[in-house]
Structure 1
């Protein structure tokens, strides 16, 4: 698997399309190729690398200046399967098996509040994992199963899509659960993905400072190039075997030319709230 370039998780913005050709162009623009090498990404990474060049000092994924010592003292809730008192827990019941996920309401409040509210109203029922890329991620959270739909409840940001919530305590390690977005500001909503890659990705650790334990975790998989761009709001604590099975499904090429549309999509039957959180 190529690891020298970044991949993006893209949430396609749906709407009323009057001209088919224009609609297709918009779709293609929001669904980059598997190996995205845009000038913007390269320039950004170059500047971040130089900002971290002073030994022990640099930029955290939240954009703040920090030190290695400070990061190494951070709470890293993804590294334990225990659900603590300040975390919530859900079970994704899929047509292939169950995936248990703990959520981080204090670190990603908008994301968790919206997810739990939508789960309670049955929004995710029958949602397919409509985009699956083995050794990368699986994506769902759109009832249309096309990647064009999304929802935010009124209690969260007035029902409008919201900004990414980035924390130096949460990363896109294997099993991370994060919100998709369009790449634009304030475009997070209901679509989410689970990072599935199990290959050593330490070669991507070339921009931000990260806790030493997180750098070690990336030896077991994940996707570091996503750090700082997507809201991580949960972590799989049981059921990664199910995630791997979903990711390894036979796929066909979608309308944007990406081989990510499953031939026999796995569905979310229900989202069971094991441990709720009051906002």
Structure 2
């Protein structure tokens, strides 16, 4: 045997015990690892399914990132966010958003027209509310405004591909908040077309999940009619330019067509008055 062969045999003898000390993976360990992987997948899927108040299936990759709370002088901007011209720093999120036990009586709004003045960090937006066509929705909107439910609350979602809306009305900023009650669809267009300036309710796939979240169509938008569509309860009569200013900057990456606005905007207060004939 040559010296080179003797050295090779010595190296093999030395390496053998090192390999033997590596703990083998038992069948029970492999089963636990497999179960853990499956559980992780289930949790991820469940998280996407559970998040409510998005527009329906068919919109481009529905996502809505939470807004970060900040100091007493204003909310901290998320990475990549920039204030649009004429906008102020948003306030922090509400510490404990209000919830309510029952749906407001629709008789309070039936057959009436109202004007809502929505004061935001980027200027005022005025709505005309149609209690004749959507009495339950308008009664709920008026009640939540009076109770200060949205004071303050961020508009947490903007979309800009096929669907052109700014979605607001969730004090938690997460896209999953509600006032503690829900009700059904009213006055939804049969063709699914929502003209620019339309004010409508956001909901989950459950038609009875209308609550506090609403959206403003800043361009004509066509939505699926599954589940009865989306309640139109009014229109923007002033301030649509404010919405368009926010929409122009789109959403934060990775999906700039659907998500948290690059230019943040928050509702500060809402005042509603009845419009007399």
1:117 to 132, 139, 143: 143
1:102 maps to 2:124: no
Gaps of 5+ in 2: 1-41, 62-110
Q: Which residue of 1 aligns with 2:171?
A: 143
Task: Output aligned runs, 1:52-131, within 5 Å.
Answer: 86-131=112-157
Rg (Cα) greater in structure: 2
Question: How far apart, CA to CA, are the structure 1 residues paired with 2:149 and 2:114?
Answer: 18
- How far the C-alpha of 1:34 sits from its partner, in A, is 3.5
Instruction: List gaps (5 residues or longer) in structure 1.
Output: 1-18, 37-84, 153-159, 198-221
- How does 1:201-220 map onto structure 2 within 5 Å? none
Q: Which range is displaced more, 245-254 or 180-189? A: 245-254
* Conservation of the 8 A alpha-carbon contact between 2:119 and 2:125: yes
Change in CA separation of 1:107 and 1:171 when aligned onto 2, cut-off 3 Å: farther
Structure 2 residue 223 is matched with structure 1 residue 225:
yes
Matched, 1:132 2:158: yes
Give the corresponding residue for 1:271.
Answer: 270
* Aligned match of 1:34: 59
Give the drift of 1:133: 1.5
Contact 1:171 1:232 in 2 (8 A): no
Match of 1:187 among 197, 209, 218: 209
Change (3 A) 1:102 1:28: closer
Q: How far off its partner does 1:268 sit?
A: 0.4
- In 1: Cα distance, 2:145 partner to 2:189 partner: 27
- CA contact 2:116–2:270 (8 Å) conserved in 1: yes
* Root mean square deviation, CA, Å: 3.1
Answer 1 or 2: higher relative contact order, Cα 8 Å, separation at least 6. Answer: 1
> Cα gap change, 1:27/1:272 in structure 2, threshold over 3 Å: closer, same or farther?
same
Query: What is the count of residue pairs matched by the alignment?
Result: 179
Q: What is the TM-score when the length of structure 2 is the normalising length? A: 0.57
